[in-house]
Structure 1
Amino acid sequence: MPCSKTVIAVAISSLFSTSLLAEVAAEEAAKELSQLDAVTVTATALEDKKSTTANSTVIKAKQLEQQQVQRLEDMVRYIPGVSLTDQGRFGSAGFNIRGLEGNQVAMTVDGLSVGETLNPPTYAFYDFFAAGRGGIDPDAVKQIEIVKGADAIAAGSGSLGGAVLFVTKDAADYLEPEGNDTFVRLKAAYSGANDETQGTVTVANRTGKLEALAVLTKREGHEMENYADSAERQAITGSGRPVADPQDNSSHNILTKLKYQLTETQDIGLTAELFKADIDTNNLSWLSRSYLTRTSDDQQERSRIGLQYNWLAGHQLFDAFSTSLDYQKTQNDAFTLMLAPASAARLCTAGPCYRSEDRDYEQDLLKWAFALDKELHTQGSSHQLVYGGALEQKSVDFSAIDTSYVGQTMAVAKQEIDPDFVPETDADLWHLYLRDSIKFNDSAFSLISGLRYDHVAYSPTLNQGFTDATGTVQDASFSALTGQLVGTYQLTEQQSVALQLGRGFRAPSTEEMYFQTSSVSRTDKATGATVSGLYGSVSNPNLDAEYSTNLELAYQWQGENSRIKLAVFKDNYQDMIAIATRVQNPNTVYQNCTTSGCTETQGNAYTINENVGDVDVTGIEIQGAWRFGQNWSSQLAYTHHDGEKENGDPMITISPDKLVAGVSYRATDWWSLAANLSYSAEVKAEDAYETEDDGTQTALVTYLPNSSTVMDLVSTMEFGDNWLLNVGVYNLLDKEYYRWERIRYAASSRNNISADGILRYSEPGRYAKLSVSYSF
């Protein structure tokens, strides 16, 4: 439901980073190398970063343009160890960093969390609903920071394995530093991967003390192509369908900003943003005796409005002060319409007839944020302090309505309300933080230290949509103290080492604590009596928060025309949350009899979310960049991660080893060419199994992808100061390959696959992208 209380939320909408990690010579070399047409994104200037971890990556708007990014997945195409998770029909659940994903990786837009996922595993097979973490258009983004390793100070709850921090564009990004100015940019783009066309209009203006920006983007496309699509394959229906289901999708995004310069040191701003996507799918892969036809109409919407105030105070307590007040609404709607025979229609007595399932999930966030910084100098050191505090309010609301219609018309015959997945829930949050970046005079050593305290309180409401069948739903609260230490030592002018110790946390999601409870009735074999009120599924508001401890050692060599970085890490995740099966009344034998016979169970089994134990993830990450003369440059990055649960089982969410290498050639001032190669290792059976209580090992997926090597070729051409043309050919060698992040979802929780059905989850074969823009 909409937020109705007055809320004060302190967020780190703008953390002031420091340049204390390296000597001046190394910094200047880094700036030179940052001008490379990098294929694998590497470190850029520290002042662009919000996080001060030893391992974070900044991607600029120019790089997004050169890499022809049209979807969130494209953003991390060339960043090993980072991927986008898949939810089939419902898109992405967010990013995967070092084996953690979904709500375990923080995602923010201008400091606002994009919301939490809702995808109950027990309902995943039916493919009626899942709430992901999207609603971000790449053309509205001027910077993405990808943080590897825990950094709760910069990102808050969810930053266990890392965070992805988006920053939207400003008018000043396009205007001259001073004076009245106007900028207009028109852009058109096309992607052969899904026949998507895109148009973007960007207008920026400064008149006197007022700056204004408007970015409007419209996209129209279809389903993602699969390898070796054909008319013959398109004719196949059912779970063995080898190509993607037909789909029409459209989206529009509007970003507007106003900024007024009150004085030389103070300004105020207003931001309004609206993202809305509509996806219509003909679910041909679901056709069967139960579904004669099945179509879906899904919408995703994210809107926000915010006020900002900045003051370069030069005060004795702070040099700069910023504060903001934002309201954000995120909504996921899923409408599924099926033509079913009477035996499968549930709500109609004569068939075939239409029936529908309508699922809606709304999340609201109201947040007031402030941040301050202060530079101090003592006799032996200099300090850059960043500090602030927070209060905010979130709320979630879910609804589910099933409808049957009269025959094959849309006249309603019967309607019923399904139990909500989660209750209507309010959450109040507040946090305080302090971070100090210290440079010791005449010393090669620098230190960054920080602390943050968070408190989260949940208040669920029982109503007609959500009744507590087990009496286990109740208020819950969580508190967490997290911190960070990063020590850097400059060995020589070119070499440095950094040691990081970080602590992250994540409060349980609404789904994990309160997913719909249920009770069952069973027959006691000994007495023949029917026992009612036994547990079917139980909520668990007594869950502990998940925590992570990140230990990382990094070595960097920085020359005038080259850079090499090697990092090794060990992340330990404590109190991980997962669904567990428990037994109620284990000494009682229950009997269930049907026309086909009787079965017996020892006790009553039920499901509950619990803290199931710890997980260790270790890995090595290598990055390199080289410049050869004025025209040639090359880049390389490699990651290897291992993840192990407490019982020795592997983490299925660990991505396979990945190597990304590229060569760039700048022929002239206006034309450049880049060849990018991406290699992913195979996934073996030993990477995807779980051990049952009796010691039996069970495979978690039905398909394991082989290794793959994919090559892309991208060209950038600038004609004068006005025209920009980007042309790319992707999967140039037309290889058949599969992404593990898609396959493990499709071949496990959904499992609507038979015969050659797995082929519809292959990535596109060879395809082209084109974008052209004109600025004036």
Structure 2
Amino acid sequence: MLSFVSTGYDMFLIKNRFIITFCCTPFIVFASEPNEVMIIKGKRNHDINAITIDQKDISKNLAYDLKSLLRTQPDIGVTDGGRFGSNGLAIRGVDGDRVGIFVDGIQQAETFNNEIYKGYGYFNGTINETEVDWLKKITINRGSDSILNGSGSMGGSISYETLSPSDIIDEKKGFGFISKSAFYSRNDQRKETIGFASGNSYIDFMILNTYRKMHENKNHSPDNDVYGRSRGTPDPRKTNSNATLIKLNAYLTEKDTLGFSWNEKKEKTKTDEKSWELFGSDARLGDDLSLAGSLGAYYEREQNGFIKKLKISAGQQSIDQSAISIVQKIKTNKTEQIYNRRIKQDNKTLKMSMDFDKASTFNIDHEFALSSGLKIKKLKNENVDTTFFSNDKLDENYSIITPVKSEEYNISLFDQIKLNSATNLHLGIRKDWVAHKPGQSKPSTTGNKEHHYIAHNYSVLSMGFGLDYKPIESTCIFRPIMNTDSGST
């Protein structure tokens, strides 16, 4: 077992290291500009652990959500849970926050679906799903992907690449429209997507909007339409969602691109939870609202030199989820209690990646990739319990989840070594520094004690190794990447 020594002083250097890395990069890139321009065409090596789904596959499968899109993929599925719908992706039995989700290269927020809320069906990973009509390509990495994407990708990762203005614009006209309408009898879902894009050789932009309206899935055996655990049909549910995506790209030079993106999604669900029943007299109604928005920007430079590609991206994601449960008398519909559960998240990311030109030593080709990133995450939980009496009501405000602020910095280096025409060796190393700073929670007045948590800092060094051998082009004998992690507090 490898061991590494680290102290709390590491965390004081996180921001300094990050600033030095970002400030030095532009000088490295521009200094590496060659006098002679060479165009090299080649074929990227295919990773058999990765599944790529493009627009053609999406259209062919008539997919209306991620679950229907992946229904034919082995060892990959979308789990369901609670009133909010799907609960994220499951890869080879690993799901939840152990599967990383990325949209246009920006890692999405965690779900924080704790054990207390899980039993009630509150909150899950639906908020991180992207509209299928917006997708240009999906890449799914099966198996541990922590070297490239961090500890949140222990089971694998899924990367969504959304449409760009150039995918819609007609080159002859300089603009383009998109319109898709669909109806799915499974849940009486009506979906409408409209979009417009325009641009020229210097700038282009795009706007997309998708609206959905649906009910619960139909059941062809409508028996046992009763209250309680013996209920045999799905609970009645109505869902309305509206999502918007805007992109703007500026082509500064033939090699330099500056881009901006903004998206927002609002989803409202009302559920008559007939399967939830208390003492034969009370039933529960669900009124849930999910608001999610993100803002991103990136700078990209491509060149024929020592550094082939440089990309710097920044993003901010805000999530506000509330689950309101209304307990009523079955016979009179009189409201007795209202339970409001709310989670707020704010995530800021900054990432830099560099792809280097192919280097050869002793007739062995190396392709290096360097990346570093900074993430700042905040989480807050707010709960309000309202109890109604004959002529009055009582409100109680408290939190179950302790608020926390996290700062994470990472740097990684990956090398793909081509030993010969049939054999490739993959080596990777990554260092993470993490700092957690818990805030002050507000306990309830019904006996919960106030807890105080101390800040916690730690660092982790990860290394990976992989080997693939192709005796013939269509056959690959693959040895999966093995990870070795060593951490210190």
Aligned letter for 1:284?
Answer: K
Structure 1 residue 470, shift from structure 2 partner = 7.4
Cα pair distance change 1:292/1:412, threshold 3 Å: same
What is the aligned counterpart of 1:473 among 453, 460, 478?
A: 453
Residue in 2 that maps onto 1:147? 141
Whether the 8 Å contact between 1:92 and 1:134 is mirrored in structure 2 is: no
Residue in 2 that maps onto 1:514? none
Whether the 8 Å contact between 1:423 and 1:465 is mirrored in structure 2 is: no
Aligned letter for 1:277?
Answer: E
What is the aligned counterpart of 1:423 among 391, 402, 406?
A: 402
Cα pair distance change 1:233/1:175, threshold 3 Å: same
Q: What is the RMSD computed on CA atoms of the aligned residues?
A: 3.1
Check if 1:381 corresponds to 2:364. yes
Residue in 2 that maps onto 1:254? 244
Aligned letter for 2:472?
Answer: T
- The 5-angstrom pairing of residues 364-763 of structure 1 reads 364-378=346-360, 380-405=363-388, 413-418=393-398, 420-440=399-419, 443-465=421-443, 469=449, 473-503=453-483
Residue in 2 that maps onto 1:210? 203
* Structure 2 segments unaligned to the other structure (5+ residues): 1-14, 23-40
Check if 1:185 corresponds to 2:178. yes
Whether the 8 Å contact between 1:128 and 1:334 is mirrored in structure 2 is: no
**What do residues 274-315 of structure 1 show as CA deviations (whole Å, max 9, x unaligned)?**
111110011122234365342111112221001111112445
Aligned letter for 1:239?
Answer: R
Residue in 1 that maps onto 2:339? 357
**What do residues 79-110 of structure 1 show as CA deviations (whole Å, max 9, x unaligned)?**
11111122122323311111211112222222
Whether the 8 Å contact between 1:94 and 1:133 is mirrored in structure 2 is: yes
Whether the 8 Å contact between 1:323 and 1:370 is mirrored in structure 2 is: yes
Cα pair distance change 1:385/1:292, threshold 3 Å: same
CA distance in 2, matches of 1:311, 1:265: 5
Residue in 2 that maps onto 1:331? 320
Larger RCO, structure (CA 8 Å, separation 6 or more): 1
Cα pair distance change 1:123/1:329, threshold 3 Å: closer
Aligned letter for 2:343?
Answer: Y
Check if 1:101 corresponds to 2:95. yes
CA distance in 2, matches of 1:504, 1:108: 24
Secondary structure, aligned partner of 1:90:
coil
Residue in 1 that maps onto 2:231? 241
* Structure 1 segments unaligned to the other structure (5+ residues): 1-5, 12-26, 29-44, 342-350, 508-543, 546-776
Cα pair distance change 1:84/1:478, threshold 3 Å: farther
Structure 1 residue 465, shift from structure 2 partner = 5.0
Secondary structure, aligned partner of 1:286:
strand
What is the aligned counterpart of 2:260 among 246, 270, 273?
A: 270
CA distance in 2, matches of 1:286, 1:253: 31
CA distance in 2, matches of 1:413, 1:382: 73
Whether the 8 Å contact between 1:53 and 1:486 is mirrored in structure 2 is: no
Count of aligned positions: 449
**What do residues 14-53 of structure 1 show as CA deviations (whole Å, max 9, x unaligned)?**
xxxxxxxxxxxxx99xxxxxxxxxxxxxxxx857xxxx75
CA distance in 1, matches of 2:274, 2:60: 36
Residue in 2 that maps onto 1:309? 299
CA distance in 2, matches of 1:375, 1:471: 53
Check if 1:286 corresponds to 2:276. yes
Whether the 8 Å contact between 1:199 and 1:218 is mirrored in structure 2 is: yes
Residue in 1 that maps onto 2:188? 195
Secondary structure, aligned partner of 2:86:
coil
CA distance in 2, matches of 1:334, 1:478: 34
Structure 1 residue 472, shift from structure 2 partner = 6.0
Check if 1:113 corresponds to 2:142. no
Cα pair distance change 1:378/1:128, threshold 3 Å: closer
Cα pair distance change 1:69/1:483, threshold 3 Å: farther
CA distance in 2, matches of 1:276, 1:78: 29
Secondary structure, aligned partner of 2:127:
coil
Residue in 1 that maps onto 2:218? 225
Aligned letter for 1:336?
Answer: S
CA distance in 1, matches of 2:409, 2:433: 6
CA distance in 2, matches of 1:335, 1:57: 38
CA distance in 2, matches of 1:280, 1:260: 42
Cα pair distance change 1:354/1:152, threshold 3 Å: same
Residue in 2 that maps onto 1:85? 79
Whether the 8 Å contact between 2:376 and 2:405 is mirrored in structure 1 is: yes
Aligned letter for 1:137?
Answer: E
Whether the 8 Å contact between 2:84 and 2:269 is mirrored in structure 1 is: no
Secondary structure, aligned partner of 1:139:
helix
Aligned letter for 1:92?
Answer: S
Whether the 8 Å contact between 2:400 and 2:443 is mirrored in structure 1 is: no
Secondary structure, aligned partner of 2:148:
helix
Identity of aligned residues (%): 24
Cα pair distance change 1:123/1:303, threshold 3 Å: closer
CA distance in 1, matches of 2:471, 2:378: 50
Residue in 1 that maps onto 2:288? 298
What is the aligned counterpart of 1:59 among 53, 65, 76?
A: 53
Aligned letter for 2:393?
Answer: A
CA distance in 1, matches of 2:152, 2:484: 8
Whether the 8 Å contact between 1:194 and 1:223 is mirrored in structure 2 is: yes
